[in-house]
Amino acid sequence: MIKLQNLTKYYPSDLGPQFIFQNINFDIPDGHNIGILGSNGAGKSTLFRILAGSEYPNKGKVVTDKAISWPVALSTGIHPQMTGRENTRFIGRVNGVENLDEYEEKVKKFAELGIKYDLPVKNYSSGMKSRLAFGCCIAIDFDVYLIDEATSVGDQKFRTKARQALLAKRKTASLIMVSHDLKEIEEFCDSAIILHQGELTFYPDLQQALSIYKSL
Ligand X SMILES: Nc1ncnc2c1ncn2[C@@H]1O[C@H](COP(=O)(O)OP(=O)(O)OP(=O)(O)O)[C@@H](O)[C@H]1O
Applying CB under 6 A, does 177 fall inside the site for ligand X? no
CB of 133 to ligand X, least distance (A): 19
Nearer to ligand X, 12 or 96 (CB): 12
Applying CB under 6 A, does 88 fall inside the site for ligand X? no
Nearer to ligand X, 111 or 209 (CB): 209
Applying CB under 6 A, does 11 fall inside the site for ligand X? yes
Task: Write the binding mask 17 to 56 for ligand X: x where contact by CB under 6 A, - elsewhere.
Answer: -x-x-----------------x-xxxxxxx----------
- Candidates 37, 74, 71, 77; CA nearest to 147 is 71
**Dist CA 88 CA 104 (whole Å):** 6
The one-letter code for the residue type at 118 is D
How many residues of this chain bind ligand X (CB under 6 A)?
Answer: 11
Applying CB under 6 A, does 92 fall inside the site for ligand X? no
Nearer to ligand X, 45 or 191 (CB): 45
Site residues (CB under 6 A) for ligand X, limited to 120-139: none
CA angle 56, 72, 42 (to 5 degrees): 50
Contact 22, 198 (CB under 8 A): yes
Applying CB under 6 A, does 71 fall inside the site for ligand X? no
CB of 70 to ligand X, least distance (A): 16
Applying CB under 6 A, does 191 fall inside the site for ligand X? no
Residues in the chain: 216
**Dist CA 173 CA 47 (whole Å):** 20
Q: Which helix (H) or strand (E) holds 110?
A: helix 100-111
Q: Which helix (H) or strand (E) holds 90?
A: helix 84-94
Cα maximum dimension of the chain: 51
Residues within the interface to ligand X (CB under 6 A): 11, 18, 20, 38, 40-46
